[in-house]
């Protein structure tokens, strides 16, 4: 299928966004995933979110590791910068790129195998350091690309397609991200675009380390009875915390949600996250509460989705390192290498 080139024709009635791009301008190549793959729905949600946020595609850098999930960046934002790294190594490559050019929007796409197995250390450290990015895990509980072995996010008691029961404890990537200091943590389901698109938009405008774990059923290897990552299971056990909208100063604030308790969270860039709370007691700005809530619901066999945690004033690796405002890749050789006397000054200050 990869040899089929996507036609470049645009229907003349497609609506352009505020910067003149249509939805087609955010698309990528034709997908080679299995029909019904959750990863394709996530690609489509990324396209929708970027279109609605009026993001220029060439201002995005999409990076990934290895896996079906990690090849999905080929299917969206065809005009963005892209880097398909080695298995589990996306976070360090993303960190390096971000250090060199902080002006781009960094989107890390990974899988549960790529992140929770081989890339676990890289994931933890990129989050701990506060790399400004949207880190999105397309979580199907298996190594889809290599034919369906259990991954480290597979629940204990979950059954493989061949009937084997997983006895190991799962890694909860949201709990880990909270523990490591992520400043935005959310979970969603590829089959719930109404929740996923606003969550992605909120993550893109966040300005800190955003991690979203998206349950994304693998139709070929993990969508049977006994699996806890199937479409049916996730639908039946979804404990949605909130419904989210993202507003900017210029937008009229309207909401489709039924009346109920709402909370507004202002972000550093002036955008407002309006959360329609489905659970009245849930406070998305309380990290400890989020951690406890995840554990409590896990014990009940429920999958918590929605915005779990947001820090309204995140600081990033660039803040910690006190880098200059101008992206490092735009600095000239003279500024980058100010000469021997400056070096001696620095050395003297360290003695
Ligand atoms: C260093 C290395 N080890 C192992 C592999 C084999 N391998 C390819 S993809 C993959 C797992 C992918 O699983 P996941 O990240 O969950 O992606 P999915 O295909 O499920 O979307 C593995 C183990 C590899 N490519 N490189
Ligand atoms: Mg997987």
Nearest atom of ligand 1 to the alpha carbon of 151: 16
- Per CATH, the homologous superfamily of domain 23-321 is Thiamin diphosphate (ThDP)-binding fold, Pyr/PP domains (3.40.50.970)
**Ligand 1 near 285 CB (within 6 A):** no
- 162 to 37, 142, 147, 233: CA distances (angstroms): 20, 13, 11, 18
Domain spans of the chain? 23-321
CA distance 274 to 242: 10
With 0-12 / 13-18 / 19 or more C-beta atoms within 10 angstroms meaning exposed / middle / buried, residue 283 is: middle
**Ligand 1 near 141 CB (within 6 A):** no
pTM given for the model: 0.94
Ligand 1 pocket test, candidate residues 34, 36, 66, most atoms within 8 A of CB = 66
10-residue mean pLDDT series, the chain (351 residues): 71 92 95 97 98 97 98 97 98 98 98 98 98 98 98 96 96 98 97 96 97 98 97 95 84 52 82 82 92 92 94 96 96 92 96 94
| pLDDT at res. 259 | 46
Phi-psi group of 88: left, alpha or beta (phi > 0 → left; psi -120 to 50 → alpha; rest → beta)? left
The DSSP string of 35-96 is TT-HHHHHHHHHHHHHHHTT--GGGEEEEE-SSHHHHGGGGB-TTSEEEE-STT-HHHHHHH
CA distance 205 to 336: 30
3-state helix, strand, coil in the chain (%, to 5): 35, 20, 45
| Collapsed DSSP state (helix, strand, coil) of residue 134 | strand
Nearest to 49 by CA among 150, 187, 199: 199
| Distance of CA 276 from the midpoint of ligand 1 (Å) | 37
Nearest atom of ligand 1 to the alpha carbon of 39: 21
| Distance of CA 80 from the midpoint of ligand 1 (Å) | 24
**Nearest protein Cα to ligand 1, atom 13:** 143
Are residues 33 and 39 in contact, defined by beta-carbon separation less than 8 angstroms? yes
């Amino acid at each position: 299928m990869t040899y089929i080139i996507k036609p470049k024709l645009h229907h003349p009635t497609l609506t352009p966004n505020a910067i003149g791009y249509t939805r087609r301008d955010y698309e990528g190549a034709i997908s080679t995933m299995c029909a019904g793959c959750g990863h394709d729905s996530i690609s489509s949600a990324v396209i929708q979110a970027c279109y609605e946020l009026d993001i220029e595609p060439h201002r995005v850098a999409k990076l990934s590791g290895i896996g079906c999930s990690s090849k999905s960046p080929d299917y969206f934002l065809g005009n963005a910068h892209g880097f398909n790294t080695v298995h589990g190594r996306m976070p360090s490559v993303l960190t390096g790129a971000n250090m060199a050019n902080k002006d781009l929007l960094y989107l890390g796409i990974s899988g549960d195998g790529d992140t929770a197995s081989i890339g676990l250390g890289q994931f933890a450290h990129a989050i701990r350091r506060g790399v400004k990015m949207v880190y999105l895990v397309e979580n199907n509980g298996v190594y889809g690309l290599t034919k369906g072995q259990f991954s480290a996010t597979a629940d204990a008691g979950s059954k493989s397609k061949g009937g084997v029961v997983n006895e190991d404890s799962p890694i909860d990537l949201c709990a880990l991200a909270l523990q490591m200091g992520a400043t935005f943590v959310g979970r969603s389901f590829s089959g719930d675009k109404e929740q996923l698109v606003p969550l992605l938009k909120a993550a893109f405008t966040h300005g800190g380390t955003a991690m979203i774990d998206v349950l994304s059923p693998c139709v070929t290897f993990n969508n049977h009875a006994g699996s806890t990552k199937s479409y049916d299971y996730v639908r039946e056990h979804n404990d949605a915390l909130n419904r989210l909208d993202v507003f900017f100063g210029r937008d009229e604030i309207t909401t489709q949600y039924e009346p109920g308790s709402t909370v507004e969270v202002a972000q550093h860039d002036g955008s407002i996250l309006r959360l329609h709370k489905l659970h009245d007691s849930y406070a998305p700005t309380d990290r400890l509460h989020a951690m406890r809530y995840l554990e409590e619901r896990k014990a009940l066999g429920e999958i918590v989705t929605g915005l779990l945690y947001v820090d309204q004033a995140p600081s990033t690796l660039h803040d910690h390192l006190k880098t200059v405002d101008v992206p490092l890749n735009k600095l000239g050789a003279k500024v980058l290498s100010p000469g021997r006397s400056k070096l001696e000054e620095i050395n003297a200050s360290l003695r």
